[in-house]
Chain A
């Protein structure tokens, strides 16, 4: 039974981003960094993050995302609730889940932890990877080490287009206004000389999808190409002005430049929910 708390539309948007775009990045951390991934070699388990919720889109009174790990290989089931996971972090409601993942007061919203004692080794290693992800994504300033910058870029690049697509699929009016009027177009985010640091968002007449790596179906309608991870983080962490960076040739826009602003607006909309800004606005 979910705790009595009024879940707003903003909560639903934020939780959609977290469950479908942010939580799945745990797999990215484990696959990208051997010090985390190696710990799961040969292991088999199901790990789930969930929140109690009875509304639309819930399964068995929950919303959640789970990972199936088979012989150390991760498969993500975004937005899907597993009935009997080996390890689970279950929040008492969506709001607390959002507050936790937005980094807005973690202690007060700690989840119930299931299967921890029985599978303590797995839990410990998952927690370590989760803390790595949270440490990067909730930092106020960009990391100094290049390897950390690369990892954080990857997380942002994979999160942001997916987040936009999730909001579109939820029918967010601001996002829908863009996608419904869009012909078949793809917007790409690229960090030059780092093939894995690319992601894209495709939209067509109200539909949307996001992906990682190079977009190969056709030439992206617009590609925002950053010179290096550090400069990319300046923009993605709102530490620099996009127009100034374009002018200074730190960011190259390949395509119709007037649409760079459109992309920027969509990205900020994801940040509005993912950083928990909506919580203050709704308070």
Chain B
């Protein structure tokens, strides 16, 4: 049950990613009458109340039945509507997987799934409510575009981009309380194109979602405390992943750390690894995230620290990677 749990961030209005999603979808609804919203009795938790208030005839509470919600959304899309179906990521990606696979992806219909409370962001909700495998699952589905926004502003960009393009989208947002990464929306968001947050040539940190803020903080610490120049990429689109940015990172820095609030199997780190292997140029890759284990229960920030996907954890791992001597057999002779 989502309600009644103490929030840990004071300025909730400013920081709530889901709030911004709710406002954005309400704005889009005004411009595009084909947009409808569906919720499995989670309109409050998934912040769709604005849309519900403005367009009650275009809002459908399907009850606590995520599988039905996806099936209904698929049917609506077949009828020419643009359904935004929102529920907890863990249920959208696992409980309703068959419907997402067969009704949405196989049909290649215009359904937008907004997965909320992703990763360990609903930390106190327990392991049943943590979505730590959803990226791995949904990115394997044919036709699915997968976006993991870094904060509220990027969520708004992602939702607008999804509405503008036909086809299935999975947008993975958190419970609602993310640190602000962007102050303006016109920073160049484009589906499938990573955003370089920090320049650097020593090492590249590739992050998504709430880990982007942590990665930027880590780059600052690495610079000021250790004189290490880390490049930070916000890889908001996991599928299709920005291959050019990954290969450039390999070519330029030869060391990559990926950071995600997700298991390290199948998610961002794996997607990056696939690109590296296909590229044929070697590099050191360390994948930060949940190391093939369920998370403990607790506050999100504490869990991020536990899984070393907070700034300090990233710094620690980046420094370790910097010390790896992967080319011991190199000839260190001078050219004459």
* Interface residues in chain A, defined as those with a beta carbon under 8 Å from any beta carbon in chain B: 20-21, 24, 27, 76, 78, 162, 165-166, 183-185, 204-205, 207-212, 217-221, 255-256
Contact = CB atoms under 8 A, between A and B. Distances in A.
Interface of B: 201-202, 228-229, 251-255, 322-323, 325, 330-336
Contacts of B229: 221, 255-256
Contact of B254 (A27, A209, A218): A218
B253 A209 contact: no
27 contacts: A20-B334, A78-B334, A162-B335, A162-B336, A166-B334, A184-B322, A185-B201, A185-B202, A205-B323, A205-B325, A207-B332, A209-B331, A209-B332, A209-B334, A209-B335, A210-B335, A218-B201, A218-B251, A218-B254, A219-B201, A219-B251, A219-B252, A220-B201, A221-B201, A221-B202, A221-B229, A255-B201
A211 B334 contact: yes
Contacts of A220: 201
A219 B248 CA distance: 9
B253 to A, nearest CB: 6
Contacts, number: 57
A241 B34 CA distance: 65
Contacts of A27: 336
Contacts of A184: 202, 254-255, 322
Contacts of A183: 202, 228, 322-323
**What are the 7 tightest A-B residue pairs by CB atom distance, in nearest-first order?**
A219-B252, A24-B336, A211-B335, A76-B336, A209-B332, A210-B334, A183-B322
A98 to B, nearest CB: 19
A142 B313 CA distance: 52
Contacts of A162: 334-336
Contacts of A21: 334, 336
Contacts of A165: 334
Nearest to A181: B227
B62 to A, nearest CB: 51
A217 B334 CA distance: 15
Given A166-B334, A183-B323, A219-B201, 4 more contacts: A27-B336, A209-B330, A209-B332, A219-B253
A20 B331 CA distance: 16
Contacts of B255: 184
Contact of A218 (B252, B323, B325, B333): B252
